[in-house]
């Protein structure tokens, strides 16, 4: 174990910045999961599988020359359908919240196998024009793919927040999450709204996947590395709150980055998980 | 009932001869892995399947055992077999330390507990990787001598795993049929009700966790040498816990042998794919199997098979439930009831207060209950009657005041101690343990409230209580099959089975038809006649008139009136509280 | 306006209503009284679409609505003020009211409905931004009634509006209900507080153990010994 080393200001700032970027991705990945868990009471472990599948699809299309961001036009609707379909099945069989965790884990395994069959276990890196570009702002390097991720994460989180806060549909979703029978007594068609929300969550996962493909090297086994951290961000941010995963993700990303700069990278996971443990033990009510 | 352990041991002995067959090493490996997963899945199930606290941290305890052994072998050159008990101990200690904190927090159940345990796994894994325990490079153990237990090295591991699996299965079975196991299953169905009935939930959860971790730790120790090169990356992940969950859910978490069935099935499936070079397809297959299991067999293979092969749902092996003979049918007597009539104060409540988030449900209530009387608790909805029962029985902690029962101060004690002190209660909306038979529901109360230690005796006594309440024909049925009236009587039987001196009944008659009410009234009288004191909350006035010696009326969390029923109900303030004061001109049709 | 024929409803495994028949005439304030456990909430919840009838018919404004999906009852013109208020405590008062006017027809008149609600319960004006869970019992009851009115129903269902409220607030509540009815709203109310309920209604039914056992004009029913005995046992 390397001891504690105090990094230079510029190194620290660069670390914090990259922490913000990675945190934004945590937040974007966690958004769909948080909404699904908070508003639909279903824990969708397959969320990660969807993200990675979308990442690989993006990679595939990009390697044929399509601009990675344009792939969103195809990927987002496709995953909307998948998400809604999955929810329909789970609702039909009245799957309980805990069993949804198990069922979606099974789905994750299947998707992983499919990915491995098509793209093998080798590492794949998406080569795009974005990957080369970076800006220099105030002496810090801002790579374009990460910037895109940050902008998408912030933009989408704000959009979702606004919908939940200010529109009738958003209110209906929140009301139904709290007291479904009374919400429906006022005309809320929760069955239809749930399908909409499930589809949206899957689409959000797919967008996160595309961002993932832009910045990271892909390998099927990588899926599991994200599960822990993203769950931590979701729970820390409070279930069902649109801005929660983004803020919590950023906190985690930055603290991980600082930890890595000050000690060794392998200590990083301890930050998010210890935070998670403390939250769960001290204020379990907050996470439900 | 004693057949099962013999079968387990017999099968183990038979399987011990497999190495003599001289099969290729592949089979030794396969069988080792199957047994290895049997240990992991079955040990996981002891906590998570039995109590319902699904842990995703089994990897951490398995890893703790793994690394204990590897450290002792590599650093301190201990002989291998001696490291195993230490591995088990370390894992168990870790588990208990965690559990001591986590189980105290009331809100952490279900998905939260699963996540917490997963987080702990990653934290421990990170610590292990970053400290000399592993250091990031893994621990090589190839130089360590393997003890000569079997003809070949791989067969040695097979035999070790066989021993571990046998012990694990025996432990799982023993718990399943014991009072401890019954308590764990009760916690699964309704932890609060179990606590109120006398199950020491905190202690039992810790014990189950300790046993579960110890077994996993031992499996880890064995596995360390099997691998001969130990790395953290494979151990402190989500893979081990998810696999054991999958195996247990597939086989059935409510049965001691379920996880073993799942473990053998899944390992076999995986290996058949690996052998055929389709490891990836194997993973997909597992996913398909899990999905199909959740959708179509949420209770697991084993229970589904059992239901197919037997007509009635399985009771624990060997128990028969004939209606008790006439000799045993004598009305059960309460243990230390003094029949010196009314007079002596049994329960003395002074200034009892209970607030919920600013709402004052009880605003300082004084009530005395005399031995042998039937006291009615009345009042309009929301007046605090049910809260009173909940506080006295320990379901809620009071925010002020004192409760003295037979000279003992009970306020603030955990519910299971209050139950042990001699107070029992029924719930307004019956809360039976849904997965247990009617008989077992009552037997549980006999064991925990009535301090009987062996399951068979408890069942016999429970039967007499079922006779007393007229439910003896439903002994093997499940609570879901009963109608409301029968469920209420089940609540009564459960409350009585712990031989309480004070019985608190919460709206027992609500929802019953007039003739059912008559039955219930007669039953309540019989309960008092054999020595119990009864306090009951009720709205059905003719029952109140017929049964009570005295009543107290609550209103807005305070005591409004006390006295004999016919006297109190005619008082103007009581009539106002119930019927309301007319103040508007009636609108004319 | 509303006809209920032989309604049978089971609550879980336990049957709660054994063939209940009643009718609500346009513009009247009808009351269903009965002791605890009689099935009053089951009745209201079934009429609001929250529970499904096992047998029998519900005919509203000439239309058989018995088999409608739960979320269509509000569309048909029925709104409920549930027992215990059941506000969306995580949302603000204003959001609760907005949810009340979720359906398009109601939404179009949201502004007017909101003004009318504040006119009826002026104290709500200051509380619009507060989380609904922080209001007192009486204020919550006002919000619950207002929420139902925001849906612009033609029939208002009230489930034990006096529950858990102190006597003074109950008086205000019933005055408001009378006013609502006077403005033309048909009201079906179930209540435990018999005298209060009889004071405002034009007609009443007595529900006991899942069956209608009496009906008629309030004063006449009040005088009957059955009610005294059912409630007080004397």
* A278 in contact with B, Cβ within 8 Å: no
Q: List Cβ neighbours of B544 (8 Å cut-off, separation of 6 or more).
A: B376, B378, B538, B551, B565, C233
* C229 in contact with B, Cβ within 8 Å: yes
Write the pLDDT tens digit of every residue in C85-117.
889 988 999 999 999 999 988 888 899 999 998
| C-alpha atoms less than 13 angstroms from C-alpha of B225 in its C-beta half-sphere | 29
Cross-chain residue pair B585–C199, CB shorter than 8 Å = yes
- Beta strand pairing status for B550-555 and B558-563? antiparallel
Say whether both B346 and B218 belong to one domain.
Answer: no
- The gap from C-alpha A104 to its chain's centroid, in whole angstroms, comes to 16
DSSP classification of residue B481 = G
Cross-chain residue pair B582–C195, CB shorter than 8 Å = yes
Q: Which of B427, B428, B434 is nearest to B482 (CA)?
A: B434
Cross-chain residue pair B566–C234, CB shorter than 8 Å = yes
Please give the residue that has the higher pLDDT: either B162 or A265: B162
- Beta strand pairing status for C186-191 and C29-33? parallel
Alpha-carbon distance of C152 to C109, in angstroms, equals 8
- 8 Å CB contact between C128 and C137: no
Q: List Cβ neighbours of A173 (8 Å cut-off, separation of 6 or more).
A: A39, A164, A193, A197
Q: Which residue of A has its CA nearest to B133?
A: A1
User: C-alpha distances in angstroms, B543 versus A10, A108, B85, B303, C123?
Assistant: 82, 59, 62, 44, 44
A232: domain CATH number? 1.10.3470
Q: Which residue of A has its CA nearest to C75?
A: A187
Q: What is the pLDDT of residue A82?
A: 94
Q: Please identify every stretch of chain B with a pLDDT value under 70, giving residue numbers as ranges.
A: 1, 108, 274-280, 310-342, 358, 381-382, 511, 513, 578-589
Alpha-carbon distance of B125 to A267, in angstroms, equals 10
Residue A52 placed within a domain: yes
Q: What is the pLDDT of residue C15?
A: 61
Task: List the single residue in C90, C95, C103 with the smallest CB-CB distance to A187.
Answer: C103
The model's confidence at residue A170, banded by pLDDT at 50, 70 and 90, is very high
Average confidence (pLDDT) over A242-250: 92
Contacts C102 to A, Cβ<8 Å: 168, 171-172, 186-188
Alpha-carbon distance of B129 to A79, in angstroms, equals 37
Q: How many domains does chain B have?
A: 2
Contacts B514 to C, Cβ<8 Å: 209
Contacts A187 to C, Cβ<8 Å: 71-72, 74-75, 102-103, 151
CA distance B303 to chain C (A): 24
- Beta strand pairing status for B533-537 and B502-506? parallel
Cross-chain residue pair C74–A182, CB shorter than 8 Å = no
Neighbouring chains of B at 3+ CB pairs under 8 Å are A, C
Cross-chain residue pair A276–B116, CB shorter than 8 Å = yes
Write the pLDDT tens digit of every residue in A60-107.
888 888 888 888 899 999 999 999 999 999 888 888 877 787 788 788
Cross-chain residue pair A178–C90, CB shorter than 8 Å = yes
Question: According to the 3-state scheme, what is the secondary structure of B370-427?
Answer: ECCCEEEEECCCCCCHHHHHHHHCCCCCCCEEEEEECCEECCCCCHHHHHHHCEEECC
* CB atoms closer than 10 angstroms to residue B97: 10
- 8 Å CB contact between B353 and B363: yes
- 8 Å CB contact between A82 and A50: yes
Strand order across the beta sheet in which B400-405 lies? B359-370, B345-356, B400-405, B408-409
CA distance A208 to chain C (A): 29
B376: domain CATH number? 3.40.50.300
Task: List the single residue in C166, C201, C233 with the smallest CB-CB distance to B569.
Answer: C233
Cross-chain residue pair A184–C50, CB shorter than 8 Å = yes
Alpha-carbon distance of C92 to C135, in angstroms, equals 10
* B436-440, C134-138, C140-144: segment of lowest average pLDDT: C134-138
Burial B104-113 (b: 16+ CB within 10 A, else e): ebeebbbbbb
DSSP classification of residue B135 = T
Contacts B566 to C, Cβ<8 Å: 234
Residue B588 placed within a domain: no
Domain ranges of chain C: 1-77+195-234
Task: List the single residue in C50, C95, C98 with the smallest CB-CB distance to A185.
Answer: C50
Pairs of CB atoms within 8 A across A/B: 127
Q: Which of C71, C96, C150 is the mutation pick for testing A, counting most A CBs within 10 A?
A: C71
Which helix (H) or strand (E) element contains residue B573? helix B572-579
CA distance A182 to chain C (A): 7
Q: Give residue A281's domain range.
A: 9-287
Which residues are bridge partners to A218 per DSSP?
A124
- 8 Å CB contact between C21 and C34: no
Alpha-carbon distance of C199 to A218, in angstroms, equals 74
- Quick one: CA torsion of B464, B465, B471, B474, rounded to 10 degrees? -70
Residue A259 placed within a domain: yes
CA distance B118 to chain A (A): 8
The model's confidence at residue C36, banded by pLDDT at 50, 70 and 90, is low
Residue A2 placed within a domain: no
- 8 Å CB contact between C57 and C5: yes
- Quick one: CA torsion of A139, A140, A145, A151, rounded to 10 degrees? -100
CA distance B529 to chain C (A): 24
* A45 in contact with B, Cβ within 8 Å: no
Cross-chain residue pair B380–C192, CB shorter than 8 Å = yes
- Beta strand pairing status for A140-143 and A134-137? antiparallel
* A131-140, B123-132, C125-134, C185-194: segment of lowest average pLDDT: A131-140
Cross-chain residue pair A93–B123, CB shorter than 8 Å = no
Q: Which residue of B has its CA nearest to A117?
A: B280
Alpha-carbon distance of B410 to B392, in angstroms, equals 8
Please give the residue that has the higher pLDDT: either B106 or C37: B106
Task: List the single residue in B510, B511, B569 with the smallest CB-CB distance to C234.
Answer: B569
Task: List the single residue in A1, A109, A266 with the smallest CB-CB distance to B286.
Answer: A109
Q: What are the E-state strand segments in chain C? A: 2-11, 14-24, 29-33, 55-60, 63-64, 78-81, 155-159, 186-191, 203-208, 211-216
Residue B255 placed within a domain: no
User: Which of B239, B267, B291 corresponds to the end of one domain?
Assistant: B239
Prediction pTM value: 0.77
Task: List the single residue in C163, C199, C233 with the smallest CB-CB distance to B584.
Answer: C199
- Diameter over CA atoms, chain B: 100
Q: What is the pLDDT of residue A183?
A: 92
Q: Is B312 exposed, middle or buried (0-12, 13-18, 19+ CB in 10 A)?
A: exposed
- In the three-class reduction of DSSP (H, G, I as helix; E, B as strand; rest coil), residue B454 is classed as coil
Task: List the single residue in A168, A185, A189 with the smallest CB-CB distance to C80.
Answer: A185
How many degrees, rounded to 5, is the angle at CA C34 between CA C29 and CA C39? 100
Percent of chain C with pLDDT over 90: 17
Cross-chain residue pair B287–A113, CB shorter than 8 Å = yes
Cross-chain residue pair A181–C50, CB shorter than 8 Å = yes
Q: Give residue B55's domain range.
A: 34-239
Q: Which of B375, B379, B376, B387 is nearest to B575 (CA)?
A: B379
Q: What is the DSSP string of chain A?
A: -----PPPHHHHHHHHHHHHHHHHHHHHHHHHHHHHHHHH----THHHHHHHHHHHHHHHHHHTT--TTTTHHHHHHHHHHHHHHHHHHHHHTT--HHHHHHHHHHHHHHHHHHHHHHH-SS-B----HHHH-EEEETTEEEEHHHHHHHHHHHHHHHHHHHHHHHSHHHHHHHHHHH-HHHHHHTT--HHHHHHHHHHHHHHHHHHHHHHHHHHS-B-TTHHHHHHHHHHHHHHHH-TT-TTHHHHHHHHHHHHHHHHHHHS-GGGHHHHHHHHHHHHHHH-GGGG-
Cross-chain residue pair B382–C234, CB shorter than 8 Å = no
Alpha-carbon distance of A288 to B260, in angstroms, equals 34
Cross-chain residue pair B295–A95, CB shorter than 8 Å = yes
Alpha-carbon distance of B477 to B442, in angstroms, equals 12
- Quick one: CA torsion of B228, B234, B237, B238, rounded to 10 degrees? -100
CA distance C61 to chain A (A): 18
Q: Which of B184, B200, B147, B178 is nearest to B45 (CA)?
A: B184
Q: How many domains does chain A have?
A: 1
Q: Which residue of B has its CA nearest to C25?
A: B589
- The gap from C-alpha C157 to its chain's centroid, in whole angstroms, comes to 3
* A288 in contact with B, Cβ within 8 Å: yes
* A281 in contact with B, Cβ within 8 Å: yes
Q: What is the pLDDT of residue C148?
A: 93
Q: What is the pLDDT of residue B236?
A: 80
Q: What is the pLDDT of residue B503?
A: 92
Q: List Cβ neighbours of B399 (8 Å cut-off, separation of 6 or more).
A: B353, B354, B355
CA distance C182 to chain B (A): 10
Cross-chain residue pair C74–A190, CB shorter than 8 Å = no
Contacts C37 to B, Cβ<8 Å: 507, 510-511, 539-540
DSSP classification of residue B324 = P
- Diameter over CA atoms, chain A: 62
Neighbouring chains of A at 3+ CB pairs under 8 Å are B, C
User: C-alpha distances in angstroms, B313 versus A282, B154, B303, B309?
Assistant: 42, 41, 9, 10
Cross-chain residue pair A190–C71, CB shorter than 8 Å = yes
Q: Which of C176, C170, C212, C220 is nearest to C34 (CA)?
A: C212
Alpha-carbon distance of B301 to B20, in angstroms, equals 33
Contacts B575 to C, Cβ<8 Å: 232
Q: Where are the alpha helices (DSSP H) in B252-310?
A: 258-275, 279-296, 301-309
* A81 in contact with B, Cβ within 8 Å: no
Task: List the single residue in C164, C194, C195 with the smallest CB-CB distance to B382.
Answer: C164
DSSP classification of residue C191 = E
Alpha-carbon distance of A55 to A51, in angstroms, equals 6
Q: Which of B241, B257, B246, B239 is nearest to B286 (CA)?
A: B246
Alpha-carbon distance of A178 to A40, in angstroms, equals 10
The domain covering C1-77+195-234 belongs, at the CATH homologous superfamily level, to P-loop containing nucleotide triphosphate hydrolases (3.40.50.300)
Residue A208 placed within a domain: yes
Q: List Cβ neighbours of B127 (8 Å cut-off, separation of 6 or more).
A: A270, B133
Write the pLDDT tens digit of every residue in B449-459.
777 788 888 88
Which helix (H) or strand (E) element contains residue B361? strand B359-370
Residue A132 placed within a domain: yes
CA distance C19 to chain B (A): 15
Say whether both B85 and B221 belong to one domain.
Answer: yes
Residue A1 placed within a domain: no
Task: List the single residue in A178, A179, A188 with the smallest CB-CB distance to C71.
Answer: A188
- 8 Å CB contact between C202 and C29: yes
Write the pLDDT tens digit of every residue in C150-188.
999 999 999 988 876 777 788 888 889 999 998 888 999
Cross-chain residue pair B287–A228, CB shorter than 8 Å = no
* CB atoms closer than 10 angstroms to residue C26: 12
């Amino acid at each position: 174990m390397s001891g504690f080393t105090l990094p230079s200001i510029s190194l620290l700032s660069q670390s914090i910045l990259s922490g913000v970027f990675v945190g934004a991705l945590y937040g974007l990945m966690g958004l769909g999961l948080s909404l699904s868990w908070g508003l639909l009471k279903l824990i969708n472990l397959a969320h990660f599988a969807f993200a990675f599948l979308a990442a690989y699809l993006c990679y595939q299309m990009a390697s044929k020359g399509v601009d990675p961001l344009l792939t969103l036009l195809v990927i987002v609707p496709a995953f909307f359908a998948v998400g809604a379909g999955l929810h329909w099945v789970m609702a039909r069989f009245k799957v309980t919240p805990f069993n949804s965790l198990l069922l979606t884990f099974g789905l994750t395994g299947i998707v992983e196998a499919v990915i491995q069959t098509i793209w093998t276990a080798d590492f794949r890196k998406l080569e795009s024009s974005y990957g080369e570009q970076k800006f220099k702002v105030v002496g810090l390097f801002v790579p374009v793919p990460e910037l895109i991720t940050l902008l998408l994460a912030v933009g989408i989180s704000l959009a979702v927040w606004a919908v939940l806060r200010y529109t009738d549909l958003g209110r209906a979703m929140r009301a139904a999450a709290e007291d479904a029978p009374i919400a429906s007594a006022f005309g809320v068609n929760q069955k239809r709204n749930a399908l909409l929300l499930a589809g949206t969550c899957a689409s959000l996962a797919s967008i996160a996947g595309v961002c993932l493909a832009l910045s990271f090297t892909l390998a099927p086994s990588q899926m599991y590395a994200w599960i822990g951290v993203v769950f931590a961000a979701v729970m820390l941010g409070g279930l069902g709150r649109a801005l929660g995963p983004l803020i919590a993700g950023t906190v985690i990303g930055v603290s991980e980055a600082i930890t890595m700069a000050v000690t060794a990278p392998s200590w990083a996971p301890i930050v998010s998980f210890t935070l998670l443990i403390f939250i769960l033990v001290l204020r379990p009510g907050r996470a439900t | 009932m004693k057949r099962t352990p013999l079968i387990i041991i017999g099968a183990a002995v038979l399987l011990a001869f497999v190495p003599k067959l001289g099969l290729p090493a592949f089979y030794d490996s396969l069988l080792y892995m199957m047994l290895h997963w049997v240990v992991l899945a079955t040990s996981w199930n002891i906590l998570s399947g039995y109590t319902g606290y699904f842990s995703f941290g089994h990897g951490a305890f398995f890893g703790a055992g793994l690394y204990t052994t590897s450290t002792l072998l590599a650093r301190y050159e201990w002989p291998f077999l001696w490291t195993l008990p230490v591995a088990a101990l370390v894992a168990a200690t870790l588990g208990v330390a965690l559990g001591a904190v986590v189980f105290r927090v009331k809100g952490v159940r279900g998905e939260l507990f699963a996540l917490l345990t997963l987080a702990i796994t990653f934290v421990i894994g990170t610590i292990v990787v970053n400290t000399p325990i592993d250091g990031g490079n893994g621990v090589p153990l190839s130089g360590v001598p393997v003890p000569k237990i079997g003809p070949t090295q791989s067969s040695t591991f097979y035999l070790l795993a066989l021993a571990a699996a046998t012990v694990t299965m025996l432990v799982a079975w023993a718990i399943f049929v014991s009072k401890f196991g019954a308590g764990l299953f009760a916690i699964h169905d309704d932890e609060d009700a179990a606590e109120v009935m006398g199950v020491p939930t905190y202690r039992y959860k810790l014990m189950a966790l300790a046993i579960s971790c110890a077994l996993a730790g031992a499996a880890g120790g064995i596995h360390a040498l099997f691998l001969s090169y130990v790395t953290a990356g494979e151990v402190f992940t989500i893979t081990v816990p998810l696999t054991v969950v999958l195996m247990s859910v597939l086989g059935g978490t409510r049965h001691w042998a379920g996880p073993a069935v799942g473990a053998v099935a899944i390992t076999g499936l995986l290996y058949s794919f690996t052998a055929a070079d389709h490891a990836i397809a194997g993973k997909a297959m597992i996913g398909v199997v899990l999905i199909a299991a959740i959708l179509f067999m949420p209770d697991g293979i084993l229970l589904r098979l059992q239901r197919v092969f037997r007509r009635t749902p399985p009771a624990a092996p060997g128990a028969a439930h004939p209606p008790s003979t006439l000799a045993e049918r004598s009305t059960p007597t309460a243990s230390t009831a003094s029949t010196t009539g009314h007079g002596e104060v049994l329960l003395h409540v002074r200034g009892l207060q209970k607030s919920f988030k600013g709402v004052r449900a009880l605003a300082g209530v004084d009530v005395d209950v005399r031995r042998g009387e039937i006291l009615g608790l009345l009042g309009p909805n929301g007046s605090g009657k049910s809260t009173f029962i909940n506080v006295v029985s320990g379901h809620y902690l009071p925010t002020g005041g004192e409760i003295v029962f037979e000279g003992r101060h009970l306020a603030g004690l955990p519910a299971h101690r209050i139950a042990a002190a001699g107070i029992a209660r029924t719930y307004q909306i019956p809360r039976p343990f849904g997965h247990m038979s009617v008989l077992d529901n009552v037997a549980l109360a006999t064991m925990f409230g009535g301090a009987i230690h062996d399951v068979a005796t408890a069942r016999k006594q429970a039967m007499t209580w079922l006779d007393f309440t007229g439910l003896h024909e439903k002994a093997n049925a499940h609570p879901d099959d009963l109608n409301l009236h029968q469920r209420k009587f089940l609540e009564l039987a459960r409350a009585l089975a712990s031989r309480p001196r004070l019985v608190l009944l919460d709206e027992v008659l609500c929802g019953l038809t007039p003739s059912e009410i008559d039955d219930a009234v007669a039953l309540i009288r019989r309960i008092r006649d054999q020595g119990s004191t009864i306090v009951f909350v009720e709205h059905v006035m003719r029952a109140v008139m017929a049964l009570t010696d005295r009543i107290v009326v609550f209103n807005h969390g305070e005591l409004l009136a006390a006295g004999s029923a016919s006297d109190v109900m005619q008082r103007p303030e009581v009539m106002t509280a119930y019927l309301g004061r007319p103040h508007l001109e009636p609108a004319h049709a | 306006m509303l006809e209920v024929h032989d309604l049978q409803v089971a609550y879980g495994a336990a049957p709660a209503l054994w063939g209940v028949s009643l009718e609500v005439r346009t513009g009247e304030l009808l009351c269903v009284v009965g002791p605890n456990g009689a099935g009053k909430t089951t009745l209201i919840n079934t009429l609001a679409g929250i529970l499904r009838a096992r047998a029998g018919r519900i005919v509203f404004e000439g239309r058989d609505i018995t088999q409608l999906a739960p979320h269509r009852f509000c569309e048909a013109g029925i709104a409920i003020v549930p027992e215990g208020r059941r506000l969306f405590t995580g949302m603000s008062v204003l959001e609760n009211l907005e949810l009340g006017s979720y359906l398009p027809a109601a939404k179009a008149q949201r502004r007017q409905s909101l003004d009318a609600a504040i006119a009826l319960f002026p104290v709500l004006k200051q509380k619009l931004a507060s989380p609904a869970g922080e209001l007192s019992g009486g204020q919550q009851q006002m919000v619950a009634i207002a929420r139902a009115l925001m849906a612009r129903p033609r029939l208002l269902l009230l489930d034990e509006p006096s529950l858990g409220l102190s006597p003074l607030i109950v008086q205000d509540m019933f005055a408001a209900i009378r006013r609502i009815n006077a403005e033309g709203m048909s009201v079906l109310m179930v209540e435990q507080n018999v005298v209060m309920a009889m004071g405002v209604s034009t007609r009443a039914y007595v529900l006991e153990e899942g069956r209608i056992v009496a009906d008629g004009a309030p004063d006449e029913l009040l005088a009957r010994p059955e009610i005294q005995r059912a409630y007080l046992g004397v």
